[in-house]
Amino acid sequence: MKLKKKVLKDFLVRNKFNKNESKIRSLKILVRLKCLNYLEILENSSKLKKLAFLTKIKNRCFITSRSASINTKLGLSRIKLREFTNNGIIPGIKKYSW
């Protein structure tokens, strides 16, 4: 049950970030360029704090939802990656040593 909550929370944060990505990037550029007056900068920085950020997103294995030691290219944890390579499910990856 606890794992399902974490997966759901991660899913919601990813969706929120994707939805607000253009707003976040444009606000950051405006704040960096300082083309706004001081009050507008404060107002925009408070808006930025409320939006979801990419750093809050946790990479998870899409099969086991494990959050530690994830292969970013395949989206698998090291355990499932090893399982699949030993069974020959993933083409192009061979056992080197383990």
Tens of pLDDT along the chain (98 residues)?
A: 566 787 788 788 788 878 877 877 777 777 777 666 666 766 766 666 666 566 667 788 878 878 888 887 888 888 888 888 888 888 887 766 55
Integer Cα distance of 57 and 53 in angstroms: 7
Integer Cα distance of 48 and 23 in angstroms: 9
Residues 13 and 56 sit within 8 Å (Cβ to Cβ) = yes
Integer Cα distance of 86 and 92 in angstroms: 12
Which top CATH class is 59-98?
few secondary structures
> How many residues does this entry show for the chain?
98
- Per domain, the residue ranges of the chain are 1-57, 59-98
